[in-house]
Structure 1
Amino acid sequence: MSFIELVGLHKSYGRHTVLQGIDLQVQRHQVVTLIGASGSGKSTLLRCLNALEPIDAGEIRLDGDVVSGPGVDVNRLRRRVGMVFQSFNLFPHMTVLDNIALGPIRLLGAEPRTARDRARSLLERVNLAHRADYYPDQLSGGQQQRVAIVRTLAMDPDAVLLDEITSALDPELVAEVLNIVRELAADGMTMMLATHEMHFAREVSDLVVFLEQGQLLEQGPPEQVFGDPVEPRTREFLRQIVEAGRL
């Protein structure tokens, strides 16, 4: 059984169709990367998975259980499937430590001391223990994004969704964030990510999915999708990426 399964997923905003009948299976410990032009539906797909956007048709299943539609426990879903955004979304009035500990305390019922100890341990993992008592505006963009990733990990999710997490960063800060994702992949975390970092997608992915105008046009291992794509539109997209020096 697939850990995450999308069956006939449709999503529209008014007359604008964003996702058109997406079928996708994600196995435990797999890294699945969504690629495609801006506006192809990558971010919307991730937001639907985290119930930030309601779907119009189809089903989302987690471990065989339907987690889309009326009556779904959204909070339980988000505890199991965490999400990291491109805009960090840290609380500016709270320290780094409190940003990370808040979720486990409020949503998981963790003891404050236990939650903060866990937060410090995770900060050490990403080399930010010395910034525990700083506020977000005292950190670089790369540091803020690492804190955002740690905040998600503090909830002990079964899977993590990463939505263009380096797009708001200066180029020199991208590597420090991607290194954390590499470590998570090596540890076996189930992940789905949308990214324009094609070198990284080729390196870290088990499965690459190419979206075009809301349709899943092609999927396969990175060596096949990047090295010998089947669909003409995939080939054209990657040709443009190569010409732009991004692959």
Structure 2
Amino acid sequence: MAFLELNGLRKSYGDHEVLRGIDLHIEQHQVVCLIGASGCGKSTLLRTINGLEEIQEGEIRLDDECVSGEGVDLDRLRTRIGIVFQSFNLFPHMTVLDNVTLGPRRVLGVSAREAEEFARKLLARVGLEAKADSYPDQLSGGQQQRVAIVRAVAMNTDVLLLDEITSALDPELVAEVLNIVKDLAADGLTILMATHEMNFARDVADSIAFLHEGRVLEQGPPEQIFGAPRAERTREFLSQIIAAGRL
């Protein structure tokens, strides 16, 4: 039994079927990267896992507990499965510290003092302790994305979902965000990440899942997916990536 199991997930918008029977099993402490062309279903898949989108068919299980379908406590689910988007989604009227401590205080019932102490430790770890009293518009894009990651981690989630978190950043800011993800992976956090950063996926992921037209067409360790892909569509995708100088 895997820690996070996605079994037969289907999701449609009207007549357009976005997820066409997704099966994906993720072990605890694994880093799994979702790759594939834009529109293949990566972002929709992450949003269904976090309960932001409903599935029409299938089941999501976390630590052998069903966390999809009717009757699921979405507030509790989102304390266990955090998500960070490509747009930072920080509250602009709140300081960095308030952004990070809001969830633990309001949702988890953590005291203000305890939440602040933990938040400051996390901010120090990502090099932003001095920015605790700043507002989001006073930060660079890379700094805002690091705060968004810290905000998710501050909830002590079991799984962290990352949805193209570097795509809105200038190239020079990408590395500083990816280094944070590397550190979290080294700590053993279970991470499912949609990304176009192929070198990062190759170096950090335990497993790569290639999505095509709403299906997991191929999954395996990085050396197999990048070195000897089995599916013709995977080979075509990676050849385009290599031709573009991104791998």
TM-score (normalised: structure 2): 0.99
Alignment of structure 1 residues 12-161 onto 2, 5 Å: 12-161=12-161
Q: How many angstroms apart in 1 are the aligned matches of 2:189 and 2:181?
A: 9
Which whole-Å CA distance do the structure 1 matches of 2:227 and 2:77 have between them? Answer: 36
The residue aligned with 1:185 is 185
TM-superposed CA distance for 1:111, in Å, is 0.7
- Partner deviation per Cα, 1:124-179 (whole Å, 9 max, x = no partner): 00000000000000000000000000000110011100000000000000000000
Name the SS of the counterpart of 2:33 in structure 1: strand
Distance 1:235 1:26 in 2: 24
* Unmatched segments (≥5 aa) in structure 1: none
Paired-residue identity, % = 69
SS of corresponding position for 2:107? helix
Q: State the match for 1:245 in structure 2.
A: 245
- Aligned residue in 1 for 2:10: 10
Partner of 1:228: 228
Indicate the residue corresponding to 2:202 in structure 1: 202
SS at match of 1:5: strand
Whole-angstrom distance in 2 between the partners of 1:178 and 1:24: 24
Deviation at 1:113? 1.2
- Distance of 1:212 and 1:93 partners within structure 2: 40
Distance 1:43 1:193 in 2: 9
Please report the RMSD computed on the Cα atoms of aligned residues, expressed in angstroms: 0.5
Tell me the equivalent position of 2:169. Answer: 169
Question: Deviation digits for residues 166-203 of structure 1, max 9, x if unmatched?
Answer: 00000000000000000011111100000000000101
Superposed structure 1 runs of 4+ greater than 3 Å apart: none
How far residue 59 of structure 1 moved from its aligned partner, in angstroms, is: 0.3
SS in structure 2 opposite 1:18? strand
What amino acid maps onto 1:97 in structure 2?
Answer: L
Amino acid of the residue matched to residue 117 of structure 1? Answer: E
Give the TM-score normalised by the residue count of structure 1.
0.99
Q: How far off is 1:22 after superposition?
A: 0.7
Residue 114 (structure 1) shift: 1.0
Alpha-carbon distance between aligned partners in 1 of 2:182 and 2:111, rounded to the nearest angstrom: 30
Letter in 1 for 2:36: G
